[in-house]
């Protein structure tokens, strides 16, 4: 059987193929496509019972119906987040949907810290200068993070690793989540109301999933609570931040630095080469003009360790599907006939 994977990155493909070879030994062929799965490309999945999706694919009701009509019965998302999939429609169509519920939390947490340190110490601006042999320090002053306050929004696996690193820096820890994590409490974290966290933290890092109640969690009201010299980092989902509100905050000269690995309108932009095109997304273009803002292309998860785990788990999900099993990674269970 041929299985098709969408949105496959060049560095990801060897790891995905290796996981397939080890698990299936040639019983199933893997077809890797760089294009993203959406209404315009859904026809390419016709005849494929199993489809491997990426986080930047659009799997709304219309796309899912096209897949089902074309013979698809199982969708394996190569990511933890699944806000791009209409799970209700998938269930109505009798589609099995699985995801990767766990991979290296260190990949994302460490990258979040890379963003935080880069904007704090003006690393990108410094590199641009030194490449032109400009070695002045004017405008490059950062500040020690030791002794300051880190606000961790979401203290699951990734947030906990972020908190451990903050603890290693000697930072005071504030946390916000629906439940207190004993590992974070052991680090000395104090769980507080969201308003207090944003008001007191010198560094705020977002580690919650994108859901109805977290969409635009960071809005104009929340940003107004933050210190003028605070740092904001988002390596989770772009929709957590109201971009218009963030732009207004930056225009007012507030926030010392912002590190964004995600953007709420990233679909159709991130993972693609847009260098020869006019950037029609005015909000993204405007973000890029601020010297204290660093935007990367949803790469926090992108380590060999994490991508290898994602590939292995995806293969496990496919094996579960063929065996008629459901597990912790199953979002929509197979229809019982």
pLDDT for res 81: 85
pLDDT for res 20: 94
Same domain for 32 and 111?
no
Same domain for 93 and 133?
no
Same domain for 68 and 158?
no
Same domain for 73 and 187?
no
Backbone angles phi, psi at 60, to 5 degrees: -85, -175
Spatial contact of 176 and 194, defined as CB atoms under 8 Å apart: yes
Same domain for 151 and 19?
no
Q: Is 266 part of the annotated catalytic residue set? A: yes
CATH number for the domain that contains residue 240: 3.40.50.720
Spatial contact of 204 and 232, defined as CB atoms under 8 Å apart: yes
337, part of any domain: no
Same domain for 149 and 290?
yes
Through-space distance between the first and last CA atoms of the chain, rounded to whole angstroms? 23
Work out how many domains the chain is built from and give that number: 2
Look up the domain containing 154 and give its range.
105-295
Which residue among 164, 266, 319, 333 is the active-site one?
A: 266
Average pLDDT across the chain, whole number? 95
Same domain for 88 and 219?
no
192, part of any domain: yes
pLDDT for res 256: 97
Same domain for 121 and 149?
yes
User: What one-character-per-residue DSSP string does 145-207 give?
Assistant: -TTSEEEEE--SHHHHHHHHHHHHTT-EEEEE-SS--HHHHHTT-EE--HHHHHHH-SEEEE-
Q: Is 237 part of the annotated catalytic residue set? A: yes
pLDDT for res 26: 83
pLDDT for res 337: 45
Which residue among 172, 237, 286, 319 is the active-site one?
A: 237
Same domain for 138 and 35?
no
pLDDT for res 222: 98
- Residues of the chain under the 70 pLDDT cut: 334-337
Same domain for 189 and 221?
yes
Same domain for 99 and 159?
no
């Amino acid at each position: 059987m041929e299985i098709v994977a969408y949105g496959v990155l060049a560095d990801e493909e060897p790891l995905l193929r290796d996981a397939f070879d080890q698990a299936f030994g040639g019983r199933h062929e893997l077809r890797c496509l760089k294009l993203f799965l959406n209404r315009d490309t859904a026809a390419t999945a016709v005849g494929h019972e199993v489809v491997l999706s990426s986080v930047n694919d659009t799997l709304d009701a219309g796309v899912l119906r096209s897949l089902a009509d074309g013979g698809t019965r199982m969708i394996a998302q190569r990511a933890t987040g699944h806000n791009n999939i209409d799970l209700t429609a998938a269930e109505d169509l009798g589609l099995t949907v699985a995801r990767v519920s766990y991979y290296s939390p260190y990949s994302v947490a460490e990258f979040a810290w890379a963003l935080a340190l880069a904007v704090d110490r003006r690393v990108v601006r410094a590199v641009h200068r030194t490449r032109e042999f400009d070695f002045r320090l004017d405008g490059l002053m950062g500040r020690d993070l030791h002794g300051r306050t880190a606000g961790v929004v979401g203290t699951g696996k990734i947030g906990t690793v972020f908190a451990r690193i903050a603890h290693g820096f000697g930072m005071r820890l504030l946390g916000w989540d629906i439940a207190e994590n004993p590992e974070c409490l052991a680090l000395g974290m104090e769980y507080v109301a969201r308003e207090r966290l944003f008001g007191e933290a010198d560094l705020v890092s977002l580690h919650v999933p994108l859901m109805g109640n977290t969409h635009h969690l960071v809005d104009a009201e929340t940003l107004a609570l933050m210190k003028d010299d605070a740092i904001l980092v988002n390596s989770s989902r772009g929709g957590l931040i109201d971009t218009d509100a963030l732009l207004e905050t930056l225009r007012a000269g507030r926030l010392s630095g912002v590190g964004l690995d995600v953007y709420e309108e990233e679909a159709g932009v991130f993972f693609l080469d847009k260098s020869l095109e006019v950037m029609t997304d005015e909000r993204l273009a405007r973000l890029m003009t601020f010297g204290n803002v660093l935007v990367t292309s949803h790469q926090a998860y992108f380590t060999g360790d994490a991508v290898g785990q994602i590939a292995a788990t995806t293969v496990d999900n496919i094996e579960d599907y063929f065996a008629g099993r459901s597990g912790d990674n199953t979002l929509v269970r197979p229809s019982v006939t």
